[in-house]
Amino acid sequence: MRDTITRLRYRYWPDHLLGEILSKRWTETAIPVILLLIVGFAFSRSIDNFLSPASLADTARQAGEIGFIALGLALVVIVGGIDLSVGSIFALTDFCALYLLDVAGWSVPAVVLATLLCGALLGAVNGILVGYLRLRAFITTLITLIIYRSAYDLLIQRYSNAIASAFPDIPSWDFIGAGSVLGIPTVALAYIVIAVFGHIFMTRLRPGWHITAIGGSRRSAYNSGIPVRRTIALCYVASGALTSIGALFFASRLGTVGGDIGVGLEVIVLTATVLGGITLGGGKGSVAKSAVGVLIVLLITNGLTTMNARGGVNRMALAGILLVAAMVDIRWQKNRTRIISKVYVAPTYHELPPPPPTEIGQGGPFEQNDKLRDVEAIGLGRIEAPEDVILDRHDNLYAGSRHGDIMRFLAPDYQKMEVFAHIGGQPLGMAFDREDNLYVCIGGMGLYRITPGGTVEKATDETNRSMRSVNDDSRLRLADDLDITDDGLIFFSEATVRYEMDEWPVDGLEARGNGRIICYDTKTGTTRTELRGLKFPNGICVASDGQSILFAETFGCSIKRYWFAGPKKGQVEVVMDNLPGYPDNINLASDGNYWLALVGMRSPSLDLAWKMPGFRRRMAKRVPVDEWLFPNINTGCVVKFNEQGKIVESFWDLHGENHPMITSMREHRGYLYLGGILNNRIGRYKLDNADPNFVQYDKRWGKQS
């Protein structure tokens, strides 16, 4: 009963989604958006007309003006600095625009240009000081804040009367300030245009990437040749220019040069920036975050003003929000990976019946023996981690190595070893096609093709993305083994879509169906996913009927058959289940049966733990990784099974000296060649009663030259 409840709970409740969602970049934007919705909802309930069109248009105008400044500040914060002088630049450029228009009598386009230039110049002062002289951004812009502010105070002492007494009646100027297109205020439209450009700039263009790179790590950016000082300086220039755009709209809307314009603006904009989730210290941030932050801050300050709160309350609210947001942001940035790694592992219920016996004297097909005692070692100590081994038509032996190479041992004595091809990722399963191209699954990279001449080509490294997956599963994380059909379809397994190659035991702990089988069509070059939800699919072998493949599910402890053609096309059928170990590669035997490697044997403890998901989750959360349960891969064996799923024979290394762990095997001319991902050798075992002329690819596709 309890088991049933546990099973149902873990089958239908998607535990794994939490970790996957948290590891998405957009969750950092989602939190401010949710906050925005809450704030908007709260104020719309407590204040009448809060969401009326007139009120919204008013908010939009303010949001546009402040939004421009926030965009500039976002840029500066992302590059790793801060700009406190924006309030004073705002005031000065506001003055500049009104002075040129009202007192100097310039035309509107000239005023706009001159104001932008003025803002850029004021920003350039910051840029030179912070970028080139490498002063501290905070203290420097604090000082320019005072200098600009006192310059502004001095200027308005002289000119405020002249500006206040002028009433320019210029339609284009009024349109900037109060006009709207299709009911949307001009300032909001302009903001949207610039924000969209800013988004493209930050995410798609080279300078945007440079800015993020410098914020992420200034020294690395410098070492990779990015012009750090110039880029930083230009960010401050951009901040000044964007601030002046905001000031232009403000000037055309209100047309005043009061003494308190722009005072404390930097705190509002800074709050908006931090609240939106742009990380102080740089490297992270987006236009969307900036916009969301501005909206939240404006809603709060406007809401408080409407509710007639005293000035001090407004100040406190702003400072309080700023502090909390900064604190949350800093703690989250610091602990993000730790939190995600704690919740990412989401074990599920996995029940297996008691395994068949393997002990000597108990009988049964898996009874242990010592047949592999006299295995001959090839390349002992010279090769590392040959997960799969394969032989070509000329009897040469190929194996992958931990160093990202395909090694070749030359026939007939396999003493001479050479690097056949260098790939760079760990080679796993291998198969030859009709033209003797070697196809290799590379963990973390995908499916690669090596021509007989040794040229490495990428076959595929992506498949169709499934709509229901939160993780982007279009890239191949752990392509494992493959086989090629007579029609040139390559079926290969991807063991897991949730973990990287080095984390494969964690996938075993999770025991969720995270793997899939993918088909690559060599004729069309297309890749598509055939089967999903498999428990660590591993070995793949095209069956003798030519219409189906056999595949092993390592942590499912089963062998299944999938029909890719013929009357049963698309069906999956269990060939063997409840194996006593974890099945790995499958290959053809000379007598028409199949070889299967068991990489390790099941243990009662993991079998029990698989039925206790809560226990494994607690383990993943509380115990350090190197003390977690680990699937046993110390002892395994090779078995031969027939088309019906009956075990014919088994081969053990009882002493555990030569080949305790086996991930693959190939039969070739009366010998069985053994590979193991943790071994430093390739085994060669003389088979009794085997066809001494058996060559796998000659048999399937006929002899060639």
**Whole-number Cα distances in Å, 487 to 449, 457, 522, 549, 564:** 17, 21, 9, 13, 11
State which residue, 309 or 565, has the beta carbon closest to other proteins: 309
Q: For other proteins, which stretch binds (CB under 8 A), given 35-43, 75-83, 109-117, 608-616?
A: 75-83
| Residue 138 interacting with other proteins (CB under 8 A) | yes
What is the rounded CA–CA span in Å between residue 405 and residue 90?
Answer: 61
Inter-residue contact 596 to 539 (CB < 8 Å): yes
**Nearest partner of 414 among 456, 452, 382, 454, judged by Cα:** 382
Q: At closest approach, how far in Å is the CB of 46 from other proteins?
A: 19
State which residue, 153 or 462, has the beta carbon closest to other proteins: 153
Q: Total residues contacting other proteins (rule CB under 8 A)?
A: 51
- Binding other proteins (rule: CB under 8 A), the pick from 326, 411, 612, 619 is 326
| Residue 261 interacting with other proteins (CB under 8 A) | no
State which residue, 139 or 625, has the beta carbon closest to other proteins: 139
Strands (E), 60-126: none
- Binding other proteins (rule: CB under 8 A), the pick from 14, 207, 320, 354 is 320
Q: At closest approach, how far in Å is the CB of 130 from other proteins?
A: 10
**Whole-number Cα distances in Å, 225 to 47, 219, 235, 521:** 54, 10, 18, 41
Q: For other proteins, which stretch binds (CB under 8 A), given 147-155, 442-450, 592-600, 636-644?
A: 147-155
Using DSSP's 3-state secondary structure scheme, residue 429 falls into: strand
| Residue 318 interacting with other proteins (CB under 8 A) | yes
Q: For other proteins, which stretch binds (CB under 8 A), given 143-151, 383-391, 414-422, 555-563?
A: 143-151
Q: At closest approach, how far in Å is the CB of 320 from other proteins?
A: 6
State which residue, 316 or 625, has the beta carbon closest to other proteins: 316
Q: At closest approach, how far in Å is the CB of 68 from other proteins?
A: 22
**Nearest partner of 290 among 390, 363, 201, judged by Cα:** 201
- Binding other proteins (rule: CB under 8 A), the pick from 51, 162, 313, 574 is 313
* Binding pattern for the stretch 276-295 against other proteins, x by CB under 8 A and - elsewhere: ----xxxx------------
Tokens of 68: 């421009």
**Nearest partner of 141 among 243, 32, 21, 225, judged by Cα:** 243
Q: For other proteins, which stretch binds (CB under 8 A), given 303-311, 505-513, 543-551, 573-581?
A: 303-311
Q: At closest approach, how far in Å is the CB of 338 from other proteins?
A: 15
- Binding other proteins (rule: CB under 8 A), the pick from 8, 162, 307, 319 is 319
Q: At closest approach, how far in Å is the CB of 306 from other proteins?
A: 17
State which residue, 304 or 378, has the beta carbon closest to other proteins: 304
State which residue, 223 or 455, has the beta carbon closest to other proteins: 223
What is the rounded CA–CA span in Å between residue 279 and residue 378?
Answer: 55
Q: For other proteins, which stretch binds (CB under 8 A), given 217-225, 229-237, 290-298, 543-551?
A: 217-225
Q: At closest approach, how far in Å is the CB of 153 from other proteins?
A: 4
State which residue, 326 or 619, has the beta carbon closest to other proteins: 326
Q: Which residues contact 398 (CB under 8 A, 6 or more apart)?
A: 389, 390, 391, 392, 406, 407, 408, 409, 420, 430, 438
Q: Which residue in this structure is represented by tokens 């450009």?
A: 197
Q: Report the run of H or E that residue 480 belongs to, with start and end.
A: strand 479-484
Tokens of 634: 């110390």
Pairing of the two strands 438-442 and 427-432 = antiparallel
What is the rounded CA–CA span in Å between residue 463 and residue 480?
Answer: 15
Residue type, 36: L
State which residue, 34 or 327, has the beta carbon closest to other proteins: 327
| Residue 239 interacting with other proteins (CB under 8 A) | no
State which residue, 146 or 200, has the beta carbon closest to other proteins: 146
- Binding other proteins (rule: CB under 8 A), the pick from 230, 334, 646, 686 is 334
State which residue, 332 or 615, has the beta carbon closest to other proteins: 332
| Residue 231 interacting with other proteins (CB under 8 A) | no
Inter-residue contact 393 to 436 (CB < 8 Å): yes
State which residue, 151 or 411, has the beta carbon closest to other proteins: 151
Q: At closest approach, how far in Å is the CB of 418 from other proteins?
A: 46
**Whole-number Cα distances in Å, 596 to 476, 667, 670:** 25, 11, 17
Q: At closest approach, how far in Å is the CB of 315 from other proteins?
A: 3
Q: Is 463 left (phi over 0), alpha (psi -120 to 50) or beta?
A: beta
| Residue 307 interacting with other proteins (CB under 8 A) | no
Residue type, 553: E
Residues in 571-630 at the binding interface with other proteins, rule: CB under 8 A: none
Q: At closest approach, how far in Å is the CB of 124 from other proteins?
A: 15
Q: Which residue in this structure is represented by tokens 């989604």?
A: 17
Tokens of 312: 């001090």
Beta bridge partners of 59: none
Residues in 150-169 at the binding interface with other proteins, rule: CB under 8 A: 150-151, 153-154, 157
Q: What share of the chain is helix, strand, coil (3-state, %, to 5)?
A: 45, 20, 35
- Binding other proteins (rule: CB under 8 A), the pick from 7, 9, 199, 218 is 218
Q: For other proteins, which stretch binds (CB under 8 A), given 164-172, 304-312, 376-384, 647-655?
A: 304-312
| Residue 233 interacting with other proteins (CB under 8 A) | no
Q: Report the run of H or E that residue 682 belongs to, with start and end.
A: strand 682-686
Inter-residue contact 447 to 489 (CB < 8 Å): no
What is the rounded CA–CA span in Å between residue 133 and residue 141?
Answer: 13
- Cα of first residue to Cα of last residue in the chain, in angstroms, is 64
**Nearest partner of 640 among 683, 618, 601, 672, judged by Cα:** 672
Exposure string of 322-360, with b = 16+ CB inside 10 Å and e = fewer, is: beebbeebeeeeeeeeeebeebbbbbbbbebeebeebee
Inter-residue contact 400 to 428 (CB < 8 Å): yes
| Residue 196 interacting with other proteins (CB under 8 A) | no
Q: At closest approach, how far in Å is the CB of 285 from other proteins?
A: 12
Residues in 111-130 at the binding interface with other proteins, rule: CB under 8 A: 129
| Residue 91 interacting with other proteins (CB under 8 A) | no
Binding site for other proteins (CB under 8 A): 80-82, 129, 133-140, 142-144, 146-147, 149-151, 153-154, 157, 215, 217-219, 267, 280-283, 309-320, 322-323, 326-327, 330-331, 334
